Structure 1
Amino acid sequence: MPFLNDAGEVVELHLGAHGEEISESNPENRFRVEWLDEVERLLDEVVATPTRPLVITATGKFFSNGLDTDHIVAAPDQLPAYLDRVHAVYAKVLTLPVPTVSAVNGHAFGAGAMLALCADHVLMRTQRGFWSLPEAALTMPFTRGMATLLRTRLTDRTATEAMYTSRRYGADDAVGAGIVDEAVDADRLTARAAEIAGARAATVGPNLALIKRGLRAPLLDDLARPTPPGVF
């Protein structure tokens, strides 16, 4: 299950399991219901005591492979509520009262790729891993909130290519497309994320959350809109 790690000047939110390079129960860090429960709980801890910047990362092959497709197939009637929970996690990350940096350690696909974009600053490791939105290839649409998130965080040209073609971007290509801010070698990824986040530590506090909410107001409104039945 995800966990918080004290890393000196910053706190790290790990999307995998404590003590495991790859989580045995959820090796791709998919958005399982219990995974969402724990991520929300940990983010609430950050909100309750906002003292240090937050780095969001993982270990192993995946940052996150996104939605739990097994759950979607098994419980299609629960899909709208499930997607609303995903939107709520995005909104919470977008409005945290601390600076945030995503340190993308491996593949970030679909909803996991969008989670990375919810941070203030995004790093991606070189040599291994892709950032991709496979929805078009899987004949899945984007929810209104997801589309607005991508339109807000990416240029129109990049959003169009990524959403229409399901292209897989390596780190250097992702920098060139403006998806991530920096490509960083794996052995420096979390240290560089901590350096960037730590440099913004003076802004920690409720005022930062107010600024984020003001900047992201239209996006937050769309993320808060209930997902209609039959979205897929």
Structure 2
Amino acid sequence: MPTLSRHESVFVLRFSEPENPADAPDNAFSPDFLDSLDAAFDEVEASEGPAALVTTGAGKFYSNGLDLSVVASDPAGLPAYVSRAQRVFARVLRLELPTVAAVNGHAFGAGAMLALSHDHRVMRADRGFWNLPEAQLGMPFPPGMNALITTRLPHTVASTAMLTSKRYAADEAIAAGIAHEAAEADAVLDRAITVAAEMAPLRSANYAGIRTGLVAGALSHLDEPITRL
């Protein structure tokens, strides 16, 4: 489950923290996982002073996105479940502090979209992909997810990523505008914390308002409950 710690002005939200990185889970969006994210955001928002937030996974995965066991076990509840995931994206986009994704490994599907919800993205240089597999899996992009992707990425990149399920390694992700920079495996989190610390003094309602203006079209769709998929 996610854990939150603070390093001076930077909050670090780890999606998992196993003793052995080889045993790290894929950080899929189980209901409990999503509840833990919301609790961490509550704590971050209740803090005072300059601050920024870094999120990261462990081992091979940043996040594998939607929990396919939840999808398979409750088809009737799928619209509500995906709506819940979209509200997490919207919440990250509304935080009154800068956000940095330390993408330590694979970011797939909704996990890739969670990374896109951050202001700055640092990817692991040597391995790990950013990927939207929905076309290959026969899954649709509901309006909120569609709007998030097409708002955060150039149209040609969004089109390729969504229609072909192309896997982007760090160098390709940077060239496409998906990631801002890359770092070696043992430096991804440290680099993200450095970037976040530099941005922390920007924390304010004004900062959040500027971001909201940039993503207003996506937020309106992310807020809208999904009724069918």
What residue identity is the alignment partner of 2:215?
Answer: R
Amino acid at match of 2:13: L
What's the CA shift for 1:207?
2.6
What's the C-alpha RMSD, in Å, of the aligned pairs? 1.5
CA–CA separation in structure 2 for the residues paired with 1:8 and 1:197: 11
Change (3 A) 1:186 1:141: same
Q: Which shows bigger deviation, 48-57 or 115-124?
A: 48-57
Q: Please tell me whether the aligned partners of residues 31 and 67 of structure 1 are also in contact (alpha carbons under 8 angstroms).
A: yes
Q: Which one has the bigger helix percentage?
A: 2
In the alignment, the residues of structure 2 paired with residue 128 and residue 50 of structure 1 have an alpha-carbon distance, to the nearest angstrom, of 37
Matches within 5 A, 1:92-107: 92-107=91-106
Q: Please tell me whether residue 3 in structure 1 is matched to residue 3 in structure 2.
A: yes
Count of aligned positions: 228
Contact 1:123 1:183 in 2 (8 A): yes
Distance of 1:183 and 1:88 partners within structure 2: 28
Cα deviation for residue 50 of structure 1 reads 4.6
Q: How does 1:80-229 map to 2 (within 5 A)?
A: 80-229=79-228
Q: Please state how far the C-alpha of 1:158 moved relative to its aligned partner.
A: 0.5
1:101 partner amino acid = V
CA contact (8 A) 1:144 1:222 kept: yes
User: Would you say the 8 A contact 2:18–2:58 is kept in 1?
Assistant: no
- Partner Cα separation in structure 1 for residue 27 and residue 7 of structure 2: 21
- Per the TM alignment, residue 7 of structure 1 is displaced from its structure 2 partner at its CA by 2.3
C-alpha distance after superposition, 1:88-128 (max 9, x if no partner): 10001111111111010000000000000100011101111
Distance 1:176 1:59 in 2: 25
The aligned residue for residue 65 of structure 1 is 64
CA distance in structure 2 between the aligned counterparts of 1:6 and 1:36, rounded to whole angstroms: 20
CA distance, structure 2, for counterparts of residue 94 and residue 22 of structure 1 = 31
CA distance in 2, matches of 1:22, 1:228: 39
SS at match of 1:98: coil
Equivalent position amino acid for 1:4 in 2: L
Q: Which runs of 5+ in 1 are unaligned?
A: none
Equivalent residue for 2:38?
40
Tell me the residue number matched to 2:29: 31
Question: In structure 1, what residue type is equivalent to 2:76?
Answer: D
* Alpha carbons of structure 1 residues 50 and 222: separation in structure 2 relative to 1, 3 Å: farther
Q: How high is the TM-score relative to the length of structure 2?
A: 0.95
The alpha-carbon deviation at position 208 of structure 1 amounts to 2.0
Q: Could you tell me how far 1:35 is from its partner in structure 2?
A: 0.4
| SS of corresponding position for 2:134 | coil
The ranges of structure 1 where at least 4 consecutive aligned residues each deviate by more than 4 angstroms after the TM superposition are: none
State how far apart, in whole Å, the 2-side matches of 1:152 and 1:206 are: 21
Secondary structure of 2:91 counterpart: helix
Q: Measured at CA, do residues 23 and 16 of structure 1 come closer, stay the same or move farther in structure 2, by a change above 3 Å?
A: farther
Percent identical pairs in the alignment equals: 46
Q: CA deviation at 1:145?
A: 0.4
CA contact (8 A) 1:15 1:29 kept: yes
